């Protein structure tokens, strides 16, 4: 699940044009809500508008039309939103973070949790792209492999990290003063609750934040377990969710094949390659052993293959992803054990 989300982000070069209808639920039905059709309608600094246009956003996506006015409202409003990968969701909450930051204050103000190192890095890249004209706004990553010295205090206004490392930096190393956080973002909530320990760690962090802190939570799915977790994290939220019948992206075709052995699976995979034009492909395996076997088979058949598993170091994983993004490998084989942050 984590790899699916990450790799969707990596290979998308444009927004998925969503035709989904959303349902908006709020505590006070009399409170006015509105949507926007242009970014100029929002209270955004000119530097952020420049960054948006450089990123290729000419107009807001469906989720941005509805969510951005809520996220940028004053006084701040809490939000729970269901949004799939490739719909502009990350850019939306990045705009909220960059808008809320006061560059003159040298301490963390915006805290964003992601379930894995790679997803945290992707969010950071969006911040750096959209915020490239905001010279005084810096980002730091609270992830495994990026140590912080005991007793040191962070000055960067935006911190992106995985729950375990953020918990360590907040309460053991005291590098982050949680009482000064004004905006808290939890991304990929459905992955958090499916990965051991991450949901409990996220709740511990959230409970230490000031009551005035704005809370934003995002999830690709909105099952009852996700809803219950979201309501623990976010108090008095406005909720944006997709209608149940519209949860599959319209540009995705789904097929399944019943196979009796891994050799038969491999033949089916080869048949797919022979039937349709594939520029790049992602293949997910249940175990590291099956991923390694498939990597060997495909390499022997002349395919340019990379493999991504939790056994790789942070630097190795980042390098594999970047090579795939650059097109140097055409096939990326991944397991689902990399979800641990």
Summarize the confidence of residues 271-276 as an average pLDDT. 75
Count other C-beta atoms under 10 Å from residue 124's C-beta: 21
Can you say whether residue 315 is alpha, beta or left, with left for phi > 0 and alpha for psi between -120 and 50 degrees? alpha
CB proximity list for 122: less than 8 A, separation 6 or greater? 6, 9, 10, 90, 114
Length of the chain: 341
3-state class of 212 per DSSP?
coil
Residue 97's pLDDT is: 98
pLDDT digits (tens, 9 = 90+) for 304-315: 899 998 788 777
Numbers of helices and strands, H then E, in the chain: 12, 11
Calpha distance 234→202 (Å, rounded): 11
Residue 224's pLDDT is: 92
pTM of the entire predicted model: 0.73
Residue 230's pLDDT is: 96
Residue 12's pLDDT is: 46
CB 80 within 8 A of CB 230: yes
Helix or strand (DSSP H, E) at 70: helix 62-71
Comparing CA positions, the residue from 115, 131, 116 lying closest to residue 217 is 115
Q: In the structure, what pLDDT confidence band is assigned to residue 321 with cuts at 50, 70 and 90?
A: confident
Alpha carbon 72 to its chain centroid, in Å, reads: 19
Structure-token match 């149940």, residue found: 244
Q: Beta strands of 109-220 (E only): which ranges?
A: 110-113, 139-142, 158-161, 183-186, 214-219
What 305-309 contacts at long range (C-beta under 8 Å, 24+ apart), as own/partner pairs, is 305/329, 305/330, 305/331, 305/332, 305/333, 306/331, 306/332, 306/333, 307/332, 307/333, 307/334, 308/3, 308/332, 308/333, 308/334, 308/335, 308/338, 309/334, 309/335, 309/337, 309/338
Planar angle of CA 48, 52, 56, nearest 5 degrees: 165
Tokens, residue 334? 């991944």
Give the lowest-confidence range in 24-33, 79-88, 131-140, 321-330. 24-33
Q: How many CA atoms lie within 13 Å of 117's alpha carbon, on the beta-carbon side?
A: 20
User: Would you list the DSSP string of 156-186?
Assistant: -SEEEE-HHHHHIIIIIS--S-GGG--EEEE
Sheet arrangement for strand 110-113: 22-25, 238-242, 79-82, 214-219, 183-186, 110-113, 158-161, 139-142
Give the lowest-confidence range in 156-165, 234-243, 246-255. 246-255
Kindly list the structural domains of the chain, giving each domain's residue range(s) and its CATH number in brackets, ordered by start.
14-246 (3.40.50.300), 262-339 (3.40.50.300)
Comparing CA positions, the residue from 100, 96, 92, 77 lying closest to residue 237 is 77
Beta bridge partner(s), residue 285? 335
Give the lowest-confidence range in 42-46, 81-85, 164-168, 209-213. 81-85
Residue 340's pLDDT is: 38
């Amino acid at each position: 699940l984590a790899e699916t989300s990450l790799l969707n982000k990596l290979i998308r070069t444009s927004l998925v044009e969503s035709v989904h209808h959303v349902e908006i639920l709020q505590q006070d039905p009399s409170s006015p809500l509105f949507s926007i059709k242009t970014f100029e309608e929002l209270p955004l600094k000119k530097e952020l508008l420049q960054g948006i246009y450089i990123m290729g956003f000419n107009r807001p996506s469906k989720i941005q039309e509805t969510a951005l006015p809520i996220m940028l409202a004053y006084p701040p409003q809490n939000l729970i939103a269901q949004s799939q990968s490739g719909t502009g969701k990350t850019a939306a909450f990045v705009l909220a973070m960059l808008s809320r930051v006061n560059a003159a204050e040298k301490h963390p103000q915006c805290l964003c949790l992601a379930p894995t190192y790679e997803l945290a890095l992707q969010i950071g890249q969006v911040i750096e792209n959209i915020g490239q004209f905001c010279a005084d706004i810096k980002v730091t990553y609270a992830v495994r492999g990026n140590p912080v010295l005991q007793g040191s205090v962070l000055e960067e206004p935006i911190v992106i990290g995985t729950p375990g490392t953020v918990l360590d930096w907040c309460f053991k190393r005291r590098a982050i003063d949680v009482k000064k956080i004004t905006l808290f973002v939890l991304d990929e909530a459905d992955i958090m609750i499916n990965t051991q320990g991450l949901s409990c760690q996220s709740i511990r962090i959230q409970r230490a934040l000031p009551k005035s802190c704005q809370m934003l939570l995002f999830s690709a799915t909105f099952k009852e377990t996700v809803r219950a977790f979201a309501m623990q994290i976010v108090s008095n939220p406005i909720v944006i969710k997709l209608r149940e019948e519209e949860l599959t992206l319209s540009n995705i075709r789904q097929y399944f094949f019943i196979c009796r052995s891994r050799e038969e699976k491999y033949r089916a995979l080869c048949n797919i390659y022979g039937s349709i034009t594939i520029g790049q492909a992602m293949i997910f395996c249940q175990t590291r052993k099956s991923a390694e076997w498939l990597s060997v088979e495909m390499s022997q058949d002349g395919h340019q293959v990379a493999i991504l598993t939790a056994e790789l170091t942070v630097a190795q994983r980042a390098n594999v992803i970047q090579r795939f993004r650059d097109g140097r490998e055409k096939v990326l084989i991944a397991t689902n054990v990399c979800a641990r942050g």
